[in-house]
Structure 1
């Protein structure tokens, strides 16, 4: 999709006719805008969460992060959340944009699968032994 968008904008910039079409600024800006949106499309398509026996790789729009299973304390997918959030052992929270509420039942199934994977591969030790987590 990103390639088609870039090619389409370059094509339009090169063959457009009419008022302002001969302007180099208009042609270059059309190409630059097309390339920008193509890059954005590629970044949206790259969003994913890849589990393996050692941990989870989360690729969001801008950032990629590798987590060991022991770093993940809990999975949250509240009714108002657009995507899954991971509570991490260091106290931070990481969004997993690959598992979205907009995906309906598929998104819910993927969130449950993530919970199962964390339970299977081991959660981080509770930093407060007197604290009880209700999952």
Structure 2
């Protein structure tokens, strides 16, 4: 199989369809709960506020779930997961893995650990995730030590 062409840097990998679904559902959910809270005549101002607050918290959780991405540039990779961001130099990435059944890409690092990169996940768009994982693997091989660690 031929090596995929390297994407132009900087490049951002993110689960676009999953992100669109999460943000759309969050927006609709927030709007529906807010409208219901305002339409229920029996609710007092505090109860209405608690409905809207609960909807905002749920929407916030969906925003956090839509946050993951992987940004590659000339110096390295920034992995943004749900609550954490980690910056890696290319030399730190030994291998990019997306095995059958994996929920997202894993990066094998030079310190012996493995870092999940939730920005590339095959959930809704499997082909796009495979393409993105191959592109990140090619970038790691060409910029870092991954090519030497066969």
For Structure 1 versus Structure 2, the TM-score category normalised by the shorter chain is 0.7 to 0.9
Q: Over the residues paired in the alignment, what is the CA RMSD in angstroms?
A: 2.3
Per the normalisation by structure 1, the TM-score is 0.79
Partner of 2:136: 114
Match runs of 1:10-29 below 5 Å: 10-17=34-41, 21-23=42-44, 26-29=47-50
Structure with the bigger RCO (C-alpha within 8 Å, sep 6+) is 2
Per the normalisation by structure 2, the TM-score is 0.72
Q: In the aligned structure 1, how far is the partner of 2:49 from the partner of 2:27? A: 17
Q: Does 1:34 align with 2:52?
A: no
Which ranges in structure 1 are unaligned for 5 or more consecutive residues? 127-132
Deviation at 1:6, TM superposition (A): 3.1
Deviation at 1:47, TM superposition (A): 1.3
Deviation at 1:16, TM superposition (A): 1.8
Which ranges in structure 2 are unaligned for 5 or more consecutive residues? 1-23
Partner of 2:119: 98
Which has more radius of gyration?
1
Aligned residues: 125
- Greater strand percent: which structure? 1
